[in-house]
Amino acid sequence: MKRYRPHILVVIALAIVLSTGWHGALRNALTDLRFAWQSRDASGNVVVVAIDAPSIDQIGVWPWPRRLHAELLHRLEAAGARDIAFDVDFSTPSDPASDEAFVKALREVGGSTILPSFKQPTPNGGAAHVNRPLKPFGNQSWPAVVNVAVESDGLVRRYPFGERLGDALMPSMAVVLAGQDVNRRPPFLIDFSIRATSIPSVSYIDVLRGDTATLDKLRDKKIIVGATALELGDRFSVPNGRIVSGPVLQALAAESVLQGRMLRWTSDIGMILGLGLICLLMMYSWRRIAPGIRVTVLIASGAAVELVAALVQARWPLVIDTSLFHIAIIAYLTAIALDEIDFRSLLGRIAESRFHRIAMSLGDGLVCTDEDHRITVWNPGASAIFGFAPAEMIGRPFETLCAVPVDVGARPSMHDAARQALLVPGGAVVVEFEGRRKNGETFPVEASFSGWQGTDGFQYGAILRDISVRKREVERVKYLAEHDALTGLANRNTLHAGLAGMIADVRRRPREVGLLVIGLDGFQQINNMLGHSAGDRVLRAVAERLRIEADGKAVVARLSGDEFAIALDCAEAGEPIVAFAERIAQAFEAPLATGTRQHRVRISIGVAVYPEGGHNADDLLSNGHLALSRAKATRRGGHVLFEAAIRQELENRLTLESELALAADRGEFELFYQPQVRLIDGSLVGAEALIRWRHPVRGYVSPAEFMPVVNTSALSERIANWVMETACRQARTWEVSGNGVRVAINLSPSQLQSGDLAHAVAALLDATELSPSLLEIEVTEDILLHDEIRVLDMFKRIQQLGVRVLFDDFGTGYASLSYLKKFPLDGLKIDRSFVFGLLANSDDAAIVGSTIGLSKQLGLTVVAEGIENRATADFLVSMGCEEGQGYFFGRPMPAEAFEKQFLAAELVAVSAA
C-alpha cells in the first residue's frame, strides 16, 4: 500500500479537482496567459464609431435623437463604408420625426445596415423579454443578436454564432458583419490575443461633422457603431483583467472570424494519454531514480506540454486543455515532498521558531525591572516604540521613559502600580502617561503593569503600547459623530444641539432664532444620469456655497441625502431671516463648478422662526420640513415661511383620513349615476358611477374634497373595489329588470398595483352574473404610467372578457396620442375643459374636431363630457360625436332617482310596444 500511496494521492487530487470544477478555472487561466504571451494586431477591417465622452459633451445627454443616427448613416455611406452595424437599442419609439428620418436613411443606404436584437431578463424571473428593432426599422435592415454569455468568474470568453429568438435562429452581430453563416454551430472562443487597442476607432461626433481625415479611415471598412463612454455602462470584463466596451467586444469577435481565429477546445484524448504516460513514468521511476531527477523530469514535462499548447494556440485556432496534466504534476511534486520530509523534526523546529517569534517579536513593548525600578528586559517592540536600543536602556531607571510633566508628582510609579496589580482581579493595572522617544518627541503611552516575587526579590513588568493612533481615531470618531462625512458640515445631532443652545440663549435675551431647511430640486436626476460620484461632488459644492454664504455666523448642517439646514441667531447674523433666505436662494442662481462640469442647481427653502415656528429644536426642525414640503409643491426655487396653517392643513388631512376609514366601516359611501346618452336622439346608452360621501353631520361631501386623500391613502384599494362591486351589482339589477344599462366606473391606480385586476374583474362578473358588455372601465394617464408592459397585458385580458376600456380625460395629459397607439382601448372621453368652451373658443373646437376624426379612424367610441346646453350637443353631433354626458342630460343622482327619470320611461315604451 505504501508503494502506491503517491499514485493514489494523484488520483484523489484529480478526482477532487474534477468534482469541484477547479480544473475549469485553471484551464481558463492558462488559456488567458497564452493570450497575454501571443499579442497580435487587428486586421484593421473593422472600425468602431465610438459614442464616447467627447461626443456626449458636444451633442448632449444620451439617448440622442435618431435623426443623428440617420445623418451618421448618410456620412458613412458617402465615406464608402462596406457594412454598418449599430450596437444601439432601437426597440422603443422616440419622437416620430426622428424615427421617420432614421427609416428613410436605412432605406436610402440600401437596407444593408445591421440592427441589434437582444434578450432581457424580466424582473419577476419569468421568460426573458426579447427586444427587437421597431418594425419599420427591421423591415429596412439585417437582424443580429448581440447577447454574450458571462461565465461564473464574471468574464466573457465565448461568442455564439447565433441564438434562437422565438421560432427563428438569429445570427450574431459579429458573424453577420464577417459574412459567415450560422449553420447551428456551437459558440467559439474569442481570440483575446488580438489587442483591443489595435482596433481602429473614430469618434461619433467627428464622423457626424464630416471630418475628412476621419472619413478617409472608413473607406471599404466594416463599421460597428456603439457606446464606449464610461457613463453609458456598456462594459464587459474579459481575460487578463481587461474591461472593454460592448462595440469593442463585438469587433474582437468579428476580427476572430475574419482572421480565422475562432478558437475551439481540442479533444480530451490527448490529455488522457498524457496523464497515463506521466503516471506510468512515475510508477516505474519512484524507487529507482533519485527525487531530484524526478522533480526535474516533472517540471520539464509540464514546461514542454505548456510550450506545445502555446505554439498550437498561436498557429492554429485550437486550444489544448493542459489543466489536468499540470494538476497531476503538482500532485506528484507534493507526493515527493511528503515522502522526503522528516515531519517530527520539522514540527519541532516550527514550534520552537513560533515560540521565539511570539516572545521576541511582539508589536507591543515589553519592559521588566528589578526591585529598584532599573530595566532588566527590553524587547524589540520597546525599541520600535521609543527608539532606544537594548544596550542603551538595560540598567537605566524606568522613569527615563516618561516625559517631564508640569507636576512632577504626576509621573506613574511602577512600584505602586505593580503592587496595586496584585490586589485586583487579573493581576494588572492599566494607566496612561506621556512617554518620550529618543529624539525627544512625546506621545501617549498605555502601560499594563504587573509584579511578582522572584528569587532576586520583587520584580516588575509592563506591556507598553503607543496609543497615538488610537487617540487620533477617537478624535476622528468624535468628529464623525458631529459632522457629515461627505461634506464636512455639521450633522443632524450637532445642528439639534446648536439649535437648542441658541433657543436657551435667546430665552434670556429675547430675539429670533431662524432655521432654514434646504432641499435640492431635481437632484435625483443628477444621480441617475451622471452617477452617485457626480452627485457627491455636487453635494460638496452645495455645502461649500452654503458655508461661504453663512460666513461663520450660523450653523450649517447636512440633514440627509439632498437636504441641508442652516440655524442662526438673527441678531448676530445682522439681517432678517427672510432676507437671509432670499440671499441663500439667489446664491444658487450661479452654476456650481464640479471638476470639468458645471451644474445649475435650484433650491427650495422652508423657514421656521422661534418662537412662532416652534418652541424647541424638535419643533423647529419638524416645522421647517413642513415649510420645505410646501415650497417644493408650490414655489420651487423659492422659500416658504412656516405658518400654523401649514400644520393645520396636515392635521386636517390626517383627520379626514381617519373619518374616511370610519365612513368605510359604517357604509357612508353611496354611488350616484350620471346618464350617458346617444347625442343624435337623446336615448340612454349608459351611466357613469360616481362616488358620494354622506357625512352624518356635514351631509354630502364633495368628491373633490375627499377623493385626493383617498387616492393617496391605504383606503384607496378598498374603496375602489367597493365602487366596482356596487356598480356591477346595480347594473345586474337593471339588467334583470329588462334594462341593459352600460355602467362606467373609474379605475384607481391602487387596483392595478395591488394584484391581478383582470382576474378580479372576471371573478366579479361571475359572482354578479353581469353581462361583460354592460361594464365599462375608464382609465386615466397616471394609471398608464405605471409598468406599461404589465398594464398592457392586463387590459388585453380584461377586453377578452368582453369588458370595454375607455381613456378618460383625454387631452389633458402629456402623452395621450402615444397611448392610443400602445394600449388596447375601445374609446375615449373628451375632457369637459374642451367641451365647456366649444362654442366660444375656436381652438377648443379644433381640438375636439380633430380628436373625433382621429378616433373614428382608429375605430374608437367618443364620449364628450360636460355638455350643459342643446347648442353644444348639436355642435358635437355635427362633428360626428356619438355619445355624451353632462348636466344638460342629467346630474349625478342616486340609483332610485335614476330609475324613475330614465328607466321607467323606457319600461313604459316597451310595454306600449
Predicted confidence at residue 911, as pLDDT, reads 35
Grid cell at residue 444: 501617549
- Average pLDDT of the segment spanning 797-817: 79
Calculate what percentage of the chain has a pLDDT beyond 90: 17
Predicted confidence at residue 688, as pLDDT, reads 94
- Average pLDDT of the segment spanning 690-694: 90
Residue 569, Cα to own-chain centre: how many angstroms?
Answer: 41
- Average pLDDT of the segment spanning 740-746: 92
Predicted confidence at residue 413, as pLDDT, reads 58
Q: Is the pLDDT of residue 210 over 70?
A: yes
Which range, of 60-64, 107-111, 216-220, 322-326, averages the lowest pLDDT? 322-326
Give me the helix-helix angle, 757-768 and 716-736, nearest 10°. Answer: 30
Predicted confidence at residue 744, as pLDDT, reads 94
Task: Say how far apart CA 455 and CA 443 lie, in whole Å.
Answer: 35
- Average pLDDT of the segment spanning 636-653: 75
Predicted confidence at residue 877, as pLDDT, reads 92
- Average pLDDT of the segment spanning 362-382: 82
Q: Give the model's confidence band at 871: pLDDT under 50 very low, under 70 low, under 90 confident, else very high.
A: very high
Task: Say how far apart CA 540 and CA 546 lie, in whole Å.
Answer: 10
Task: Say how far apart CA 151 and CA 149 lie, in whole Å.
Answer: 6
**Per-residue b or e along 28-55, where b marks 16 or more CB atoms closer than 10 Å to that residue's CB:** bebbbebbeebeeebeebbbbbbbbeeb
Q: Give the model's confidence band at 361: pLDDT under 50 very low, under 70 low, under 90 confident, else very high.
A: low
- Average pLDDT of the segment spanning 728-739: 92
- Average pLDDT of the segment spanning 700-709: 79
The amino acid at 464: L
Q: Is the pLDDT of residue 726 over 90?
A: yes
Q: Give the model's confidence band at 908: pLDDT under 50 very low, under 70 low, under 90 confident, else very high.
A: very low
Q: Give the model's confidence band at 359: pLDDT under 50 very low, under 70 low, under 90 confident, else very high.
A: very low
Predicted confidence at residue 465, as pLDDT, reads 86
Q: Is the pLDDT of residue 341 over 70?
A: no
**Cα-flanking dihedrals φ and ψ of residue 498, to 5°?**
-65, -40
Predicted confidence at residue 690, as pLDDT, reads 92
Residue 94, Cα to own-chain centre: how many angstroms?
Answer: 23
Identify whether the C-beta of residue 681 lies closer than 8 Å to the C-beta of residue 628.
no
Give me the helix-helix angle, 291-315 and 269-285, nearest 10°. Answer: 170
- Average pLDDT of the segment spanning 192-212: 91
Q: Is the pLDDT of residue 345 over 70?
A: no
Determine what percent of the chain falls in helix, strand and coil, rounding each to the nearest 5.
50, 20, 30
- Average pLDDT of the segment spanning 81-92: 89
- Selected residue with higher pLDDT from 134 and 270: 134
Q: Give the model's confidence band at 762: pLDDT under 50 very low, under 70 low, under 90 confident, else very high.
A: very high
Which range, of 26-40, 246-260, 337-351, averages the lowest pLDDT? 337-351
Q: Is the pLDDT of residue 228 over 80?
A: yes
Q: Give the model's confidence band at 352: pLDDT under 50 very low, under 70 low, under 90 confident, else very high.
A: very low
Q: Is the pLDDT of residue 520 over 50?
A: yes
Identify whether the C-beta of residue 178 lies closer than 8 Å to the C-beta of residue 279.
no
Predicted confidence at residue 574, as pLDDT, reads 72
Question: How many helices (H) and strands (E) in the chain?
Answer: 37, 36
- Of the spans 156-160, 305-309, 674-678, which averages the highest pLDDT? 674-678
Q: Average pLDDT over the chain, rounded to whole?
A: 82
- Average pLDDT of the segment spanning 749-753: 75
Q: Provide CB contacts within 8 A for 730, sequence distance 6+.
A: 671, 673, 689, 743, 895
- Average pLDDT of the segment spanning 72-93: 90
Q: Give the model's confidence band at 85: pLDDT under 50 very low, under 70 low, under 90 confident, else very high.
A: very high
Q: Is the pLDDT of residue 440 over 60?
A: yes
Calculate what percentage of the chain has a pLDDT beyond 70: 89
Q: Give the model's confidence band at 741: pLDDT under 50 very low, under 70 low, under 90 confident, else very high.
A: very high
DSSP string, 315-349: HSSEE---HHHHHHHHHHHHHHHHHH--HHHHHHH
Q: Is the pLDDT of residue 680 over 50?
A: yes
Identify whether the C-beta of residue 682 lies closer than 8 Å to the C-beta of residue 870.
no
Q: Give the model's confidence band at 459: pLDDT under 50 very low, under 70 low, under 90 confident, else very high.
A: confident
Q: Give the model's confidence band at 564: pLDDT under 50 very low, under 70 low, under 90 confident, else very high.
A: very high
Residue range 763-801, pLDDT digits in tens:
999 999 999 999 999 988 766 666 677 888 888 898 899
Task: Say how far apart CA 416 and CA 298 lie, in whole Å.
Answer: 67
Give me the helix-helix angle, 644-666 and 617-634, nearest 10°. Answer: 80
Q: What is the model's pTM?
A: 0.43
Task: Say how far apart CA 90 and CA 99 lie, in whole Å.
Answer: 10
Predicted confidence at residue 407, as pLDDT, reads 47
Predicted confidence at residue 269, as pLDDT, reads 76
Predicted confidence at residue 355, as pLDDT, reads 37
- Average pLDDT of the segment spanning 30-55: 88
Three-class DSSP labels, 391-407: HHHCCCEHHHHECCCCC
- Selected residue with higher pLDDT from 514 and 340: 514
